[in-house]
Structure 1
Amino acid sequence: MQFRQLEYFVALAREQHFARAAAACYVSQPALSEAIRKLERELGVPLVRRGSSFEGLTPEGERLVLGARRILAERESLEHEVAALHTGLTGELRIGVIPAATTAIADRVDPFCAAHPLVRLRIESALRSADIVERLRRFELDIGILYTQGVDTTGLVKRPLYDEQHVLVVGNDLLPGRTGAATWADIAELPMCLLHKGMRGRDRIDEAATAHGVTITPRLEADSISTLLAFVSRGGWASIVPRVWVQRRGAPTDFRVVELEDEALSGHVALVRVDVEPASVLVKAFEDMAMVLAAPPASGRITSSKPEA
């Protein structure tokens, strides 16, 4: 069994297509097919269900692909560790981030990049918490920044980063005369724009609204908080976003910030990684830096510089 055979097999499992897998591995399709057939002969079991095209993995193949991903991840980790002895940290770090945490991750990425200039980072920031966990288990991501409530993180290492709170942001012409916190009944009457249903940040809003006996039906949905804020800034929309997103902007002039009536949307954001020891040197370096940096403020109040009507 060779690393090359495992790479081809993992690529086929990912691409679900012989030609695409071969292209991803920069080899011809016959070469990839023959390498996988040789792997099957060595193991004495069929790994791929074949017809006129790829039809999926056999039960043996499904089990092998999990081990193959782990082996390849451990090999890459060893290569990074050896390289670090000579030139400092190198390689690529793959980070999956929920939309709500993208501003917080920036505070950690900048100093990490400054400390390790040879490391490349690939950040995917429109992912659900459950999707991040699944991709961590498939070794397609190295680190996840996500909500851990209601998500199965069995077999993963969790490091709490910060507690998150939410605020209502509204166009300057909405909720005129409002001086106190917004009730959920108020929110249900507003022209709302929210994250897509199924994203954990959106689901938490729906759960909090239901707990207060109301249903929020947004007129617009998006997969990023920056998109929501862009619409709110135009004046005719409202949304509910993590407080840290507003704090990064300072006192806004293009919309107003209104407190919620309770702390129903407080939650925990954590750094999550696969429980492999020793951990990748890249993962460990990022994790250590993330833990020593100050958490973003969660309870500070933001006031709009525009007087209320």
Structure 2
Amino acid sequence: MIDKLDFLIALAREKHFGRAAEACGVTQPTLSAGIRALEEQLGAVLVNRGSRFIGFTPEGERVLEWARRIVGDARAMRQEVNALRHGLAGHLRIAAVPTALGLMTALTTPYRTRHPHVRISVQSRPSADILDLLENLEIDAGLTYVDNEPVGRARTIPLYRERYRFLTAARNGPMAERESVSWADFADVPLCLLTPDMQNRRIVDRLLRGAGLKSDPQLESNSIVVLISHVRTSHWCTILPERLAETVGLEGEIRAIPILGAPVTPTIGLVVPHREPMAPLTAALVNEARRLADEED
């Protein structure tokens, strides 16, 4: 049954029979037959079908929740048996919001030192995508905001509070001579910011509104590299988290000036599936996160 439940999860993720079959490494007829066999076994229609995938029936939605739980537990079980026989090894998949990528090495480097046979992949994704990836078993953990928007049924390990810096060119950049700035100072500054689908941008927008300003950047991008490259020209400025500003290689060309007066700063943390027992690779990452959180305190 596990393979048929895998088919259902892939269909929920891809929302297309052909792409779901490709993701599972089978033909589309094999995937469709597997889902039909699951429906017959459970005595309920799970998928609304037409010329294409339409969606899940109410029964299908409930079975999908069970499928994620069962398949996740089965993978964790296989991982634990393998760890008992051969030690911790395998593939750890992490996704992080772009503004938290500066913290990643503080987790992955000690993890790799303790568990050299684990391969790690890291991808940069918006916060909403991270929760979807976690729910659909595409990643093992995420690094995201844990107190600003709902994180669903995930388990969270808070790591640090995000503080902000105003980035401007060291020579001739707006307010480059200042030792600190306030949110109200950005009224006439040519800002380039992350795109609105990024949670950090929504946080910055709220902080600007709190200072009585409208968020009206002259340039938006989902790439930190694009923002930094524009700041280097001396014609643009941006607002980024302190930790990220420390890791983007400013090389004396850009000043990262503290911004004073944020009433509440959001928390970045690790999110993992709410599963007991926890998969060994994930449990080892949680241990690293807790060590890091203790250091932050």
Shared fold, TM over 0.5: yes
1:264-308, CA deviations, whole angstroms, 9 ceiling, x for partnerless residues?
A: 46331111222211111111101101221377879xxxxxxxxxx
2:163 corresponds to which of 156, 162, 165: 165
Q: CA deviation at 1:251?
A: 7.1
| 1:202-281 alignment, distance < 5 Å | 202-248=201-247, 252-264=251-263, 266-281=265-280
In the alignment, the residues of structure 2 paired with residue 10 and residue 179 of structure 1 have an alpha-carbon distance, to the nearest angstrom, of: 53
1:203 is displaced (CA, Å) by 1.1
Q: CA RMSD in A?
A: 2.3
Question: What's 1:306 paired with?
Answer: none
Offset of residue 20 of structure 1:
1.9
Maintained 8 Å contact 1:195/1:201: yes
Alignment partner, residue 48 of structure 1:
47
Secondary structure of 1:278's match? coil
Match of 1:142 among 140, 151, 157: 140
Q: After superposition, what is the alpha-carbon deviation per residue over 1:180-229, rounded to whole angstroms, capped at 9, x for unaligned?
A: 42233431211111111132211111111111111131111122334322
Q: Could you list the runs of 5+ residues in structure 2 that have no partner in the other structure?
A: none
Q: Which amino acid aligns with 1:253?
A: G
- Residue 236 to residue 77, structure 1, CA distance change in 2 (3 Å): same
- How many residue pairs match? The answer is 296
In structure 2, relative to structure 1, the CA distance for the partners of 1:201 and 1:177 (3 Å cut) is closer
Amino acid at match of 2:212: G
1:158–1:270 CA contact under 8 A, matched in 2: yes
Whether the aligned pair in 2 keeps the contact of 1:204 and 1:265 (CA below 8 Å) is no
Identity level (%): 35
| Residues 1:293 and 1:148: Cα distance change in structure 2 (over 3 Å) | closer
TM-score after normalising by structure 1: 0.87
What letter is aligned with 2:156?
Answer: K
In the alignment, which residue of structure 1 is the partner of 2:29? 30
Deviation string, structure 1 residues 70-121 (Cα, Å, up to 9, x no partner)? 1111111111111111222222222121111101012211221232233222
Instruction: Give TM-score, length-normalised by structure 2.
Output: 0.90
**Using a 3 Å threshold, how does the CA distance of structure 1 residues 14 and 251 change in structure 2: closer, same or farther?**
closer
Show structure 1 runs of 4+ deviating over 6 A. 294-298
Partners of 1:288 and 1:178 in 2: CA distance: 43
Does the 8 Å CA contact 1:104/1:296 hold for their aligned counterparts?
Answer: no
Equivalent residues of 1:188, 1:217 under 8 A apart: no
Structure 1: give runs of 5+ residues left out of the alignment.
299-309
The correspondence of residues 119-138 of structure 1 with structure 2, limited to 5 A, is 119-128=118-127, 130-138=128-136
